[in-house]
Chain A
C-alpha cells in the first residue's frame, strides 16, 4: 500500500501501546465503564463531530444557516445538495425525475424519507405509483434494508409517503462488492406509473435524509483515499468534513480492556499472596 497508509498503521500501533501503558499506570482512576469514558475522549480526539443532525446544527456557523433547498435537480449531474436532517422541498410535475444528493460518511446509517403532495382528487383520473431510489456516489443503486420504496396511491389519496433505510456505510469494501462507501448518495423520486391523463399535473415533493451513528461495532478496517464524489456539479460534504479514518470508539473499548486486564492481573496476583505473611513461614529477620 502507499506510504501514507503504512504510516497510519504504524502510528496506530504506537497509540494503542500508549493507551495500554496509560491504562496500567493510572489503573486506579481509569477503571471507568467505557461508555462513561467515551464522551470526553471522543470530544477531544474525534475529528468528526457527532453526526446527529441536531447536535451538528448547533455546532458551528455558516452552512447550517442556509435555508433548505426549494428546488430539486433533474439528473445526477444537477442533483441538489441537501444537508442531513434538513427537509428539502420542490414543486414539480407528475412524471418529473427529481434528484437530490447528500453526504454519508463511514460508520453512518442513512435513511431517506419522501412525501409527495398529490394534485387534487378532482384533477386525477387513476392510481399513481411513486418510487424512491437511492444511488451511491458511483451511481450504483443501493438496496433498502427496510422502508417502502414504491407505493401506489389511490385516485383519491392526498399524499404518498416513501422511505428507504440504507445499509451502514463502511469505510472500505472490496472493489467487487456493492457495499455502501463514504461519499455522495443520490436520491431519485419519480412517478413510475400514472394514468396517462395525469401526466404533467403539478405536485409538491419533500425529501429528508437523516444520518445516524451506527456505533463502533460497525467500524471496519481500511479506508478510501477519497470519498465517492464525482460526476455532479455539486460536491456534498458532511458538516465538519469527511472523517480522517483515525478514530473509532474501538480505541476506548481496547483501552478499557487493557485497564481491566491490568487490574484483574493485580487482583489475581494479590489473591495468591493472601493477607499478610503466610503463617508457616518463620518470622522475618
Chain B
C-alpha cells in the first residue's frame, strides 16, 4: 500500500526495485505484520540431491550455499520460512515416506544465524512428497492479508502419486488466498520439468531450470524480492448466471473463477454523464486447446447489448484480456429520484470464455478471472473530426488566403463602383 502510494507520488516512475530496497523499505516495514509478505522456501532433500552435477558440487551443497546467500539478502519486511521434504525418513515404506515434510524454520521474521544453522544440518535422505509439502507450506503461510509465495526447489518428480501436486497447486490457488508457487528444477529431466511447470502454471507462478549454482541463488533472491513489490490485491466476487441475481460491483479490482464455456454476470451502476470502464482477464492456468477467446459484454437489464469487448488468441498464453468503455450520455432524459439526482443505470457485465481443454484436463475449479471496473466522468464528445474544428496544413492556408484575397478584391470593386456612381450623380 505504502509502496503503491510512493510510486504514484513520484509519478509512477520509481522502478519496482527501488521500492523494494529504497526509502520505501523503512515505511513498508512499519506496516502492520498482518500485511507482511510471506515466503516459504520448500526444499527437496530427497536422496537424489546427492548427485554431484552442479558445477562439480552436489545438488545439496549448491542448494545450501544458495540458501545462505538468499538469507543474507532477505528484505526486512518479509516473513520467511523454510520447509523440507524427504529430509528424515530413510526407509522403503511409501506411506511413511510420503508424509515426510517438516517446517525447518517457521515462517516469521528471519534470524539469519539460526536459519543458516538449520539449513546446514540437512542431508539428502528420502522420498519426494511434493503434493503434501505444498499443502503444509500453504498452512505455514496462513493468516494476514499480504502476498504469499511458495518457492519450491526440487530435482525430481513427485514419488507420492496419486495425489497430483499439480492438482494440489490448482486447488490452493482456487482458495483465493493470493498464493503463488514458483518452482525451480535442479538439473531437471523431462518428467520433472513437466510437473514443475504445471505447478507453476496452475498458480500464475514461474518455472526455472537451474544448471549452475549462481543461477539458483540469483533466481530465489529475485522471487523473494517480488513479494515486497507493490501490488494490488483483488477482492473476491462471485458472478452469477443471470443479471437479476448478479452481484453489484463498485469500482475496483475483482477476482472470480469461471469454468470452460461458462457465462458470469456482474452489475455496475452508471449515472448519466459518467463513463464505465471495465476490463477482464481470463487466465489459462492449465493445458488448453490452441485457439480460444474471451468476451466482455455490457447490456441493459432487459438484455439489450450496449457495447462489447472481444479477444481471441492462439498458442501459449498466461491470460487473455479484453475491455470496454461505455459513456452514458447526459441528455436530461433520465428519471430523477426524490433528491433530484438522476437515477443511475444498472449495466450488466457478462464475462464469457471460449477456452477448451483436452479431455484429460480437469475442468474444476474454473479458470481464474480478474475483473477491473472503474467509473469516471464522461468524455468531452467530439463535435468535429478535427481538434475543435480548427484548420491545419498548407492547403488550408492557401484556401484561406485566396478567400481573403477574393474578399478584398470584391470589397475594393464594390467601393470603387459606389464612388463612381456617387460621382456621376
Which A residues are closer than 8 A to B by beta carbons? Answer: 1-2, 4-5, 8-9, 12, 16, 34, 62-63, 66-71, 73-78, 80-81, 83, 88, 91-97, 103, 123, 135-136, 138-141, 171-172, 175-176, 190-193, 196-197, 199-202, 216-217, 219-226, 228, 230-237, 239, 245, 248-251, 253-254, 256-258, 260-273, 281
Q: A225-B275, A265-B405 are in contact. List 7 more A-B contacts (CB 8 A).
A: A34-B397, A77-B370, A217-B392, A221-B382, A261-B401, A261-B407, A272-B415
Contact with A along B195-209 (1 / 0, CB 8 A): 011000000101111
Contact check, B403 vs A261: say whether CB atoms are below 8 A apart: yes
Query: Which residues of chain B are within 8 angstroms of A2 by Cβ–Cβ distance?
Result: 273, 330, 377-378, 380
Point out the residue from A63, A251, A260 that lies within 8 Å of B404, measured CB to CB: A260
Contact check, A262 vs B404: say whether CB atoms are below 8 A apart: yes
Nearest residue (CB) in B for A15 is B388
Contact check, B321 vs A200: say whether CB atoms are below 8 A apart: no
User: Is B121 on the interface with A (CB-CB < 8 A)?
Assistant: no
Contact check, B321 vs A139: say whether CB atoms are below 8 A apart: yes
Contact check, B396 vs A257: say whether CB atoms are below 8 A apart: yes
Point out the residue from B16, B185, B397 that lies within 8 Å of A80, measured CB to CB: B16
Nearest residue (CB) in B for A139 is B321
Contact check, B11 vs A237: say whether CB atoms are below 8 A apart: yes
- A271-B408 Cα distance, complex, nearest whole Å: 9
- A223-B273 Cα distance, complex, nearest whole Å: 14
User: Is B363 on the interface with A (CB-CB < 8 A)?
Assistant: no
Which B residues are closer than 8 A to A by beta carbons? Answer: 3-4, 7-8, 10-18, 184-185, 188, 190, 193-194, 196-197, 204, 206-211, 215, 218-219, 222, 225-226, 229-232, 234, 253, 273, 275, 277-281, 307, 309, 311, 315-319, 321-327, 330, 370, 372, 374, 376-393, 396-397, 400-413, 415-416, 423
Point out the residue from B15, B378, B382, B402 that lies within 8 Å of A68, measured CB to CB: B15
Contact check, B397 vs A257: say whether CB atoms are below 8 A apart: yes
Contact check, B15 vs A80: say whether CB atoms are below 8 A apart: yes
Query: Which residues of chain B are within 8 angstroms of A62 by Cβ–Cβ distance?
Result: 10-11
- A256-B394 Cα distance, complex, nearest whole Å: 10
- A175-B185 Cα distance, complex, nearest whole Å: 47
Nearest residue (CB) in A for B1 is A233
Point out the residue from A200, A237, A239, A248 that lies within 8 Å of B207, measured CB to CB: A200
- A1-B409 Cα distance, complex, nearest whole Å: 43
Contact check, A70 vs B372: say whether CB atoms are below 8 A apart: no
Contact check, A140 vs B322: say whether CB atoms are below 8 A apart: yes
Contact check, A264 vs B401: say whether CB atoms are below 8 A apart: yes
Contact check, A199 vs B207: say whether CB atoms are below 8 A apart: yes
- A197-B187 Cα distance, complex, nearest whole Å: 11
Query: Which residues of chain B are within 8 angstroms of A268 by Cβ–Cβ distance?
Result: 404-412
- A114-B411 Cα distance, complex, nearest whole Å: 62
Contact check, B383 vs A225: say whether CB atoms are below 8 A apart: no
- A272-B417 Cα distance, complex, nearest whole Å: 10
Query: Which residues of chain B are within 8 angstroms of A138 by Cβ–Cβ distance?
Result: 277-279, 309, 322-325
Q: Looking at the assembled complex, report how far the CB atom of B220 sits from the nearest CB atom of chain A, in whole angstroms.
A: 12
Contact check, A63 vs B10: say whether CB atoms are below 8 A apart: yes
- A216-B393 Cα distance, complex, nearest whole Å: 9
Query: Which residues of chain B are within 8 angstroms of A201 by Cβ–Cβ distance?
Result: 209, 211
Nearest residue (CB) in A for B323 is A138
Contact check, A253 vs B393: say whether CB atoms are below 8 A apart: yes
Can you sample 25 A-B contacts with CB below 8 Å?
A1-B378, A2-B380, A75-B318, A83-B13, A91-B218, A91-B222, A95-B206, A138-B325, A140-B321, A175-B307, A197-B193, A200-B208, A201-B211, A216-B392, A217-B392, A220-B386, A221-B383, A226-B377, A234-B12, A235-B12, A260-B400, A261-B400, A262-B404, A268-B405, A269-B409
